[in-house]
Each structure stands twice: as C-alpha cells, then as structure tokens.
C-alpha cells in the first residue's frame, strides 16, 4: 500500500505549473515520498477522507506550492497557474434518480414544443424521449459544421428521465475532459445543466473545465453553484477554497476550511490550506497548531518545516525558526525558497555572512526582486554600499513597482552622501504608497539636513496623522521646533517621544536643554540625570545616535559642569554631521561651541575638516 501524498506536495501524476511566480505565501512543494502510483492509498491513515472515498478525494486538485516564496512581496496580482487536476473516473456526486413513470408519447409542452403526433404515427408507438435540440442529431451522423457537436446518448429506454439524460451528458463531458477536449466537455456539461439545473455533478464538471482553461472566476462561480446544489460535499468546499486562495481571498479560504474541518478533522489538505491562509493573515500562533499536526502526519515534508520556521521567526523564536529551516533544506537542498527564508532568519540573528550565502544561492537559482532587496540590506549592513546600490537597481529592473527597493536605495544614497538622489527615491516610495511612514521619516531627515525645516515638519505631521505613536515623527518635529525657537511646541513633541520610547536618551537630553533655555533648571537637571542613568545601565542603542543626539548631549554635559566631556561629544557631533552631509547643522553646532567658549585649536580644526560649507555668493 502506498504512502499518501502530503497535501503540500505535488502528486506524481500532475503536471507542473508555470514557475514564473514564486511569490505567494504557500510553502514550496517537494517531490512526494516514494510511493507506488499503481496501488491504492486508501487506508485508515489516509488524510484525504474516509476509507470509501479516499480514492476520489486524492484525485482532486491541490494548489501547487512548488514555486511560491512566503518571504517575497513582488508577486504579480494575476492568479498563478496551479497544477492540473487529475480527473476522477466518474463524477463525485450523482444525485439519486427517483423512479419516474414512463414518459408519455406526448411529451410536456414545456420540454418539447413539437406538435402532437398523428394517428398514423401512433400505430406502432415508440417511447419518445424529450431532449434539447442540440441532441437530436443521430450519434454517428457526420456534420460539416465547424461547431462543436455533442453526441446524443442512446435514449431508447422506456423509463428515461431528464435527470438520466443529464447524467449521461455528464459522463460524456467527463470523457471529453479526460481527453482535454474542453470545448466538447463544456458543450456536454451545458446540455446536462439545461436538463437538470440542480445537478451538482454538472456544475462540478463545468468548474473543472473553467479551471483548466484558466477561467478562475468562472470556476469559482461554478463551485458556488455546485455547493448550492449539494452542500454536503466537502470536496466542493475545498475546491472553492483553493480557487479563493488564488484571488488572495484568505478569509474565504478560512471559512471553507473551517466548514470542512468541523465535519472531518482529519482532512489534511484543508488543514494545510487553513495554515497557509493563517500565515498570510499573520495569525502565526494559530497557524502553528495546524502546522504541528501537518508535520506529525508528514515528517518528511519540507514545506511544513519551512512554514513553521516562518511562524517561529515572526514570533521572534529565532533558534526554533533556524532549526526548522535547516530541516527543510536537509530534506530538499535545492529549493530557493527555503534558502531565502533561512537567509532572512540568519540576517535577523546577526549572521550576515550566513545570510549572504543563502541569498547568493537563492539568486543563482531563482533571481527575484525581493531577494536582491534583502541582499542589498545585508551589503549595506556590511558597509558595502556600492554593492547594495547595485542590488537595489537590479531589484527595480525585475519589478519597477517594487516599493522596498526604492526605499532601500534611498537609504543607501543617504549613506553615500547623495541627498538629492535619496530624496528622489523617497518621493517615489511615497508615490507608490502614500502611507509609507518610514519613507516620510527618511525624507524628513533629508529636508532637515538640507536646512528645509518647513518641509521636514510637514512630513512629521503627515506621519503623526497616519501613526500618532511614531517616535521619530515626534522627535524630529521637536528638534525642528527647538532650533526654530518654538520651545513650548518642542517640549510637547519631546514629551510625546519620551512616552513612546523612554530609553531613547537623545529625546531626554533635548527636552532638558529646552527646559534649561526656558529657565526651569530643576526639570532640566532631572532629564539630564535620567538620561545619564539610562546610559549607565547600558539601555541606550548607540546605533540610533545622530548629529542631533550628540548636539543635545554635549549641551547637557556643559550645563552640568562637564566641559571636557561636552567638548568630546560635540566633536563626535561634528563628525556625525560630516557623515550625514549636514553643513547647516554643523554651522549651528559650531556657533554653539563658540558661544559656550569651548572652542580650541584642536576643536576648530576638527570642525573645519568635518564638513565643508557651500560657498556663498
């Protein structure tokens, strides 16, 4: 007896789809475990259904997950091609045919509008079957028409009914579907529906045809009709859920899978599709339950490990995520999706070289905009900004509407000191996504460093409207207000920033400086002491320091009487201003240094070399 296929893998008898899209959220498919396709897989352990229906249910189609990358975000909106279904030997559903009286010689007018037969015609009466015009042509009569003709079944039976005829046309349509004669199959199923509009098998067959010719909307409509005709068939709900997944209607997927699992908790295919939808909707903790059951049933399926690894990573359980992704790669080493996922996890764990190796391998096997974008970030973190820029360029070439690549390239241009090009990329990012708060924040920094305080404040106000608890929007607005002389507005913004991120010392130093300027020495000293305490406890993120932070800390140190420490920190601020190409702020800093009487030959030389001001006139 063969092993049942995992619902996340592609059965051997199915055709592989177009692999141009590897960006859906479904886990990639692996080759199924060794199985004998010539033997039946029906058993008590068969996840596809009960023992008596397992063969039929295994022959359903399942989405091919082989080329879908759960990490990427540049997928086309057109539904991808999933694998072709293997047609069932016969219709899944055949409504019960009730015993009907023999058809009279005069058919009902609503079924046949022909005139009543004459007396001569009834001398040797022969039962007359009602049938639509398309079926009146004899079976073997050739036709010269270019139209698709549907051969009429043998209806010379004294007890034939309209439902019987519909079933015969369904059988004719099934044979045409197996032969991939979709036009003939459609014609047969259409006649079947004309004879029996409530025949679920006819709508099911029409749904299969629509799917094969990539008419996914038509397939969805046909499955709706099939379910309406026979709501007891769980297979119909699964088919509809699989089509809904193509349209990214994950709530419909969850609803259909819930209906199936409530009636058959062992339905592994529905459980897998349910897990995929949960991950797409970012319900990672709930998805883990379904994935654990899937892995327990299919311990050799790498897709389950990949998806569970993704859930662990999103839940910040990084060691477990890495272990699962390592397991997925050990089961299927050449799957780019697995390496992409592991690269993301390694990057988050700080293993940048390991992440780079995984991204290199992924790009070598399946170039994708999202992977180039991820590798660009690794290059940027490693200090190779030129390589990062090239990867961003390549990502944009592959997908000109890939927002992340424009945003990341803007960051690279900031670090390269080209603020004008950075501004263009942040503008493009916002054009694509007017709620991209990070792009507004970065553009606000560029405006600030170009001495355009008005535009910087506007961007901060926009972010506050989208995300009132954004730390940087309040912090930058506070710095701009402080430097513009709007001290009370600056206090309000710095206080909001401190409430959002209490351990960010720069906001506390800035607020303390503003209190000192307003003459409230007690509150100023309280903020300075709290900031120093945070630094002493090691809670400060040094990576967040910029020229504005060094500036505020230097002033604070001067106010508490530590002039030498203040001079050192202000020198660091001058170097930071050089790094971020901020000549206007450097000028403010230099004026403040002279005002405080901290200038010396060494400091003046450092300040002079730290940032060259634009020539006047």
Higher-confidence position of 96 and 155? 155
- Highest mean pLDDT: which range of 72-76, 268-272, 539-543, 553-557: 268-272
Identify the DSSP state of 103.
P
- State the average pLDDT over residues 370-375: 96
pLDDT for 153 equals 53
pLDDT digits (tens, 9 = 90+) for 402-427: 999 999 999 999 988 899 999 999 99
- State the average pLDDT over residues 358-375: 95
pLDDT digits (tens, 9 = 90+) for 172-231: 999 999 999 999 999 999 999 999 999 999 999 999 999 999 999 999 999 999 999 999
380-397 exposure pattern, b = at least 16 Cβ within 10 A, e = fewer: beeeebebbbbbbebbbe
Inter-residue long-range contacts of 542-547, CB under 8 Å, 24+ positions, other chains counted:
544/504, 544/506, 545/506, 545/576, 546/506, 546/576, 546/580, 547/573, 547/576, 547/577, 547/580, 547/582, 547/585, 547/586, 547/589
Both tokens assigned to 549 = 């932070």
Report the C-alpha gap between 382 and 566 in whole angstroms. Answer: 31
Does the pLDDT of residue 67 top 60, yes or no? no
Tell me the C-alpha to C-alpha distance, in Å, between residue 504 and each of 72, 419, 471, 558: 32, 26, 10, 20
Do residues 131 and 116 lie in contact, with contact meaning Cβ atoms separated by under 8 Å?
Answer: no
Does the pLDDT of residue 367 top 60, yes or no? yes
The CA angle 54-213-167, to the nearest 5 degrees, is 55
Does the pLDDT of residue 22 top 70, yes or no? no
pLDDT bracket for residue 536 (50, 70, 90): confident
Cβ within 8 Å of residue 294, ≥6 positions away: 6, 7, 8, 268, 271, 272, 275, 301, 304
Closest-CA residue to 311 (of 346, 342, 359, 279): 279
Does the pLDDT of residue 451 top 70, yes or no? yes
Identify the DSSP state of 484.
T
- State the average pLDDT over residues 598-604: 51
Domains of the chain and CATH, by start: 468-610 (1.25.40.10)
Tell me the C-alpha to C-alpha distance, in Å, between residue 116 and each of 109, 157, 222: 10, 20, 37
The CA angle 292-293-294, to the nearest 5 degrees, is 90
Report the C-alpha gap between 322 and 303 in whole angstroms. Answer: 14
- Residues constituting the chain: 617
pLDDT digits (tens, 9 = 90+) for 479-532: 999 999 999 999 999 999 999 999 889 999 999 999 999 999 999 999 999 999
Q: DSSP string of 406-475? A: HHHHHHHHHHHT-HHHHHHHHHHHHHH-TT-HHHHHHHHHHHHHTT-HHHHHHHHHHHHHH-TT-HHHHH
Do residues 512 and 525 lie in contact, with contact meaning Cβ atoms separated by under 8 Å?
Answer: yes
pLDDT for 70 equals 54
500-524 exposure pattern, b = at least 16 Cβ within 10 A, e = fewer: bbeebbbbbbbbbbbbbeeeeeeeb
Judged by average pLDDT, the poorest of 121-130, 360-369, 474-483 is: 121-130
pLDDT digits (tens, 9 = 90+) for 436-446: 999 999 999 99
Q: DSSP string of 245-285? A: HHTT-HHHHHHHHHHHHHH-TT-HHHHHHHHHHHHHTT-HH
- State the average pLDDT over residues 150-161: 57
> pLDDT averaged over the chain?
76
147-185 exposure pattern, b = at least 16 Cβ within 10 A, e = fewer: eeebbbbebeeeebbbbbbbbbbbbbbbebbeeeebebb
3-class secondary-structure state, position 73: coil
- State the average pLDDT over residues 527-551: 79
In Å, the largest CA–CA distance within the chain is: 129
Inter-residue long-range contacts of 107-112, CB under 8 Å, 24+ positions, other chains counted:
111/162
């Amino acid at each position: 007896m063969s092993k049942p296929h995992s619902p996340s893998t592609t059965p051997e008898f199915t055709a592989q789809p177009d692999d141009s899209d590897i960006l859906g959220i479904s886990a990639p498919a692996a080759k199924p475990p060794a199985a004998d396709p010539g033997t039946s897989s029906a058993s008590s352990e068969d996840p596809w259904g009960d023992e008596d229906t397992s063969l039929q249910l295994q022959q359903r189609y399942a989405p091919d997950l082989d080329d879908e990358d759960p990490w990427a975000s540049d997928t086309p909106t057109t539904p991808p091609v999933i694998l072709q279904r293997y047609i069932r030997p016969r219709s899944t559903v055949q409504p019960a045919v009730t015993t009907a009286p023999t058809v009279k010689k005069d058919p009902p007018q609503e079924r046949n509008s022909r005139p009543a037969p004459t007396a001569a015609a009834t001398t040797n009466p022969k039962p007359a079957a009602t049938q639509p015009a398309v079926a009146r042509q004899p079976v073997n009569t050739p036709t010269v028409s270019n139209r698709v003709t549907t051969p009429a079944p043998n209806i010379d039976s004294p007890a034939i009914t309209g439902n019987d005829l519909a079933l015969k046309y369904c059988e004719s349509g099934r044979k045409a579907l197996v032969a991939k004669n979709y036009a003939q199959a459609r014609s047969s199923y259409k006649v079947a529906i004309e004879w029996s509009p409530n025949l679920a098998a006819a709508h099911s067959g029409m749904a299969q045809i629509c799917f094969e010719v990539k008419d996914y909307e038509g397939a969805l409509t046909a499955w709706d009709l099939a379910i309406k005709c026979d709501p007891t068939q769980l297979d119909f709900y699964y088919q509809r859920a699989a089509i809904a997944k193509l349209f990214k209607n994950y709530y419909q997927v969850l609803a259909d899978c819930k209906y199936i699992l409530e009636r058959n908790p062992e339905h592994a295919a529905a459980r897998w599709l349910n897990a995929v939808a949960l991950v797409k909707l970012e319900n990672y903790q709930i998805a883990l339950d379904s994935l654990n059951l899937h892995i327990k049933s299919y311990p050799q399926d790498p897709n389950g490990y990949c998806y569970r690894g993704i859930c662990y990573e999103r839940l910040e359980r990084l060691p477990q995520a890495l272990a699962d992704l390592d397991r997925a790669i050990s089961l299927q080493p050449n799957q780019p999706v697995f390496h992409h996922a592991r690269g993301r996890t390694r990057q988050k764990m700080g293993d940048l070289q390991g992440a780079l190796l995984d991204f290199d391998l992924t790009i070598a096997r399946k170039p994708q905009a999202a992977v180039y974008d991820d590798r660009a970030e690794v290059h940027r973190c490693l200090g190779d900004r030129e390589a990062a820029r090239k990867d961003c360029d390549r990502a944009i070439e592959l997908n000109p509407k890939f927002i992340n690549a424009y945003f990341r390239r803007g960051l690279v241009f900031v670090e390269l000191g080209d603020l004008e090009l950075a501004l263009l990329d942040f503008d493009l990012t916002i054009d694509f996504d007017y709620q991209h708060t990070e792009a507004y924040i970065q553009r606000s920094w560029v405006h600030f460093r170009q001495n355009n305080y008005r535009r910087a404040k506007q961007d901060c106000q926009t972010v506050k409207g989208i995300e009132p608890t954004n730390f940087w929007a309040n912090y930058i607005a506070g710095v701009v207000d402080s430097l513009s002389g709007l001290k009370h507005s600056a206090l309000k913004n710095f206080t909001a920033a401190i409430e959002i991120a209490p351990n960010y010392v720069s906001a506390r130093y800035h607020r303390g400086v503003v209190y000192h300027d307003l003459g409230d020495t007690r509150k100023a000293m309280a903020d300075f002491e709290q900031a120093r305490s945070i630094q002493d406890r090691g809670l400060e993120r040094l990576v967040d320091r910029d020229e504005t932070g060094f500036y505020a800390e230097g002033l604070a140190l001067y106010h508490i009487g530590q002039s030498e420490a203040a001079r050192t920190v202000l020198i660091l601020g001058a170097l930071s201003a050089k790094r971020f190409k901020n000549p206007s702020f450097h000028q403010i800093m230099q004026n403040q240094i002279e005002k405080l009487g901290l200038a010396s030959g060494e400091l003046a030389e450092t300040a002079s070399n730290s940032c060259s001001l634009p020539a006047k006139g």
